Amino acid sequence: MRTSLVLALLPAISAFQLPFKLPFFNNHSGQQLLQPANTTPRVAIIGAGAGGASAAFWISKAKERFGLDIEVDVYEKEPYIGGRSTVVFPYGNTSLPAVELGASIFVKANKNMWRAVDEFNLTRRDFRDEKGMGIWDGEKLLFTASGGWWTWWDNAKALFRYGFHSPRRTQVFVDNMINKFLTLYSPDAPKWDNITHLSTTLGWTDLVSQSTSEYLRSEGVSDRFISELVEASTRVNYGQNADEIHALEGACSLAPTGASAVEGGNFQVFEQFVKRSHANVYLNTSVKSIRQTGSDRWLVDSDRGSESYSAIILAAPYHSTNIEVPSEVSSRIPPQPYVHLHVTLVATTQPSLPPQSLSLSASTKVPAMLLTTFEGARNGGKEPEFNSLSYHGLISEGEWVVKIFSKKRISNKWLSKMFDGQVGWVLRKEWDAYPVLPPSTSFPDVKLQPHFYYVNAFEPFISTMETETLASRNVVDILLKETFGGSGICGPEGTPLNDTAKEDYVFGWDC
- Indicate which single residue of 359, 361, 379, 500 sits in contact with ligand NAG (rule: CB under 6 A): 500
**Minimum Å distance from CB 39 to ligand FAD?**
26
**Interface with ligand FAD, residue 52, by CB under 6 A:** yes
**Minimum Å distance from CB 501 to ligand NAG?**
4
C-beta closer to ligand NAG: residue 12 or 156: 12
User: Can you tell me the distance from the alpha carbon of 452 to that of 159, in angstroms, rounded to the nearest whole number?
Assistant: 51
C-beta closer to ligand FAD: residue 18 or 248: 248
User: Can you tell me the distance from the alpha carbon of 14 to that of 187, in angstroms, rounded to the nearest whole number?
Assistant: 19
- Binding segment for ligand NAG (CB under 6 A), chosen from 30-38, 139-147, 400-408, 484-492, is 30-38
Distances (CA, A) of 337 to 240, 296, 317, 340, 435: 13, 31, 10, 9, 6
**Minimum Å distance from CB 459 to ligand FAD?**
6
Contact indicator for 255, 466 with CB cutoff of 8 Å: no
Selection from ligand NAG, ligand FAD, none that 396 binds (CB < 5 to 8 A by kind) is ligand NAG
Burial track 168-196 (b if 16+ CB lie within 10 A, e otherwise): ebbeebbeebbebbeebbebebebbebbb
By CB under 6 A, the residues from 104 to 133 that bind ligand NAG are: 121
Distances (CA, A) of 47 to 119, 190, 312: 23, 25, 11
> Do strands 124-126 and 311-314 pair parallel, antiparallel, or not at all (unpaired)?
unpaired
**Interface with ligand NAG, residue 76, by CB under 6 A:** no
**Interface with ligand NAG, residue 501, by CB under 6 A:** yes
Burial class (CB in 10 A: 0-12, 13-18, 19+), 387: buried
Contact indicator for 211, 230 with CB cutoff of 8 Å: no
**Interface with ligand FAD, residue 474, by CB under 6 A:** no
- Binding segment for ligand FAD (CB under 6 A), chosen from 27-35, 47-55, 209-217, 290-298, is 47-55
**Interface with ligand NAG, residue 186, by CB under 6 A:** no
> Residue 339: how many CB atoms within 10 A of its CB?
19
**Interface with ligand FAD, residue 290, by CB under 6 A:** no
Selection from ligand NAG, ligand FAD, none that 431 binds (CB < 5 to 8 A by kind) is ligand FAD
**Minimum Å distance from CB 50 to ligand NAG?**
19
**Interface with ligand NAG, residue 31, by CB under 6 A:** yes
C-beta closer to ligand FAD: residue 58 or 484: 58
- Binding segment for ligand FAD (CB under 6 A), chosen from 46-54, 325-333, 394-402, 478-486, is 46-54
**Interface with ligand NAG, residue 14, by CB under 6 A:** no
- Binding segment for ligand FAD (CB under 6 A), chosen from 42-50, 162-170, 445-453, 484-492, is 42-50
Burial track 391-401 (b if 16+ CB lie within 10 A, e otherwise): bbeebeeebbb
**Interface with ligand FAD, residue 316, by CB under 6 A:** yes
Q: What is the DSSP string of 6-29?
A: HHHT-TTS-TTT--S-GGGBB-SS
Distances (CA, A) of 8 to 73, 139, 177, 277, 441: 31, 74, 46, 26, 50
Contact indicator for 436, 337 with CB cutoff of 8 Å: yes
**Interface with ligand NAG, residue 284, by CB under 6 A:** yes
**Interface with ligand FAD, residue 195, by CB under 6 A:** no
Collapsing DSSP to helix, strand or coil, 197 comes out as helix
Selection from ligand FAD, ligand NAG, none that 504 binds (CB < 5 to 8 A by kind) is ligand NAG
User: Can you tell me the distance from the alpha carbon of 448 to that of 27, in angstroms, rounded to the nearest whole number?
Assistant: 34
* Interface mask toward ligand NAG for 244-283; x: CB under 6 A: ---------------------------------------x
User: Can you tell me the distance from the alpha carbon of 83 to that of 271, in angstroms, rounded to the nearest whole number?
Assistant: 11
Distances (CA, A) of 277 to 72, 235, 281, 303: 9, 36, 10, 23
Burial track 219-229 (b if 16+ CB lie within 10 A, e otherwise): eebbebbbbbb
Selection from ligand FAD, ligand NAG, none that 85 binds (CB < 5 to 8 A by kind) is ligand FAD
User: Can you tell me the distance from the alpha carbon of 183 to that of 206, in angstroms, rounded to the nearest whole number?
Assistant: 18
Distances (CA, A) of 194 to 89, 343, 464: 39, 32, 18
Q: How far is CA 115 from the centre of its chain?
A: 15
- Binding segment for ligand FAD (CB under 6 A), chosen from 31-39, 61-69, 180-188, 456-464, is 456-464
**Interface with ligand FAD, residue 321, by CB under 6 A:** yes
**Minimum Å distance from CB 188 to ligand NAG?**
15
- Indicate which single residue of 15, 16, 30, 327 sits in contact with ligand NAG (rule: CB under 6 A): 30
Contact indicator for 312, 329 with CB cutoff of 8 Å: no
By CB under 6 A, the residues from 391 to 430 that bind ligand NAG are: 396
**Minimum Å distance from CB 135 to ligand FAD?**
19
C-beta closer to ligand NAG: residue 228 or 510: 510
User: Can you tell me the distance from the alpha carbon of 51 to that of 37, in angstroms, rounded to the nearest whole number?
Assistant: 30
Q: Name the residues that contact ligand NAG, by CB under 6 A.
A: 27, 29-31, 33, 79, 93, 95-96, 121, 192-194, 196-197, 283-284, 396, 445, 498, 500-501, 504, 510
Q: Name the residues that contact ligand FAD, by CB under 6 A.
A: 46-52, 75-78, 83-85, 102-106, 286-287, 315-316, 321-323, 341, 343, 431, 433-434, 455-456, 463-466, 468
